[in-house]
Amino acid sequence: MQKRFIVIVFMTMLLMLAGIFIPNAALSTSDVSIKQQIEKRVGENAKLKTGKVKVAVENGFVVLYGSVDRYIQKMLYEKIAWKTKGVIEVENEIRVLPIVLMDDAAIERKVKEIVQTYERFQGVSINVTVKAGAVNVLITLNHPEDVLFFKRRIADIDGVVSIDIMANFFALRPT
């Protein structure tokens, strides 16, 4: 009877330990899979070949860190991470270190050219300031979807290291 009790206690403890370690092993396998999926998709994207970015994953939380040449690359890394199955949160710590240094006035001109080039921005008001490649925009747009469209165009300008857009919308203005 005592041997049977010891066996039962031993089996119970073994099952309890398995319950503790098996889910953690499954999580780490999942984390490895998430990291591999992100790295695979990054490798398939020609625009990301010059990036020096590393991916850390723990329990579905992803941290992107390292450097890229252009802000658009930083955005693409984050988009890939967010679209990966199993990802719970993404922290984008990627730094933009431009190869082509453009002066702030030139970046500002290019941002204003975007507004002039696309019909969707006709009639919008804009205020742009650029300091050390950091672009700050105050703009009134027609539609909320225009913010991301605009941000992607700015992100493709050489020398841009950060983008902050503060938008108002014609359709959402109080009457």
CATH at 47: 3.30.1340.30
Number of structural domains the chain divides into? 2
pLDDT at res. 26: 45
CATH code (residue 127): 3.30.70.1350
By residue range, what is the domain housing residue 28? 2-96
pTM of the predicted protein model: 0.77
Same domain, 147 and 83: no
Strand partners, 64: 55, 92
Same domain, 13 and 87: yes
3-state secondary structure 26-79: HHHHHHHHHHHHHHHHHHCCHHHCCCEEEEEEECCEEEEEEEECCHHHHHHHHH
- Local mean pLDDT, 10-residue blocks, the chain (175 residues): 58 58 52 95 90 94 96 96 96 94 95 93 91 96 92 96 92 56
pLDDT at res. 28: 47
pLDDT digits (tens, 9 = 90+) for 4-47: 556 465 566 655 655 554 444 444 459 999 999 999 999 999 98
Point out the domain boundary residue: 67, 96, 125. Answer: 96
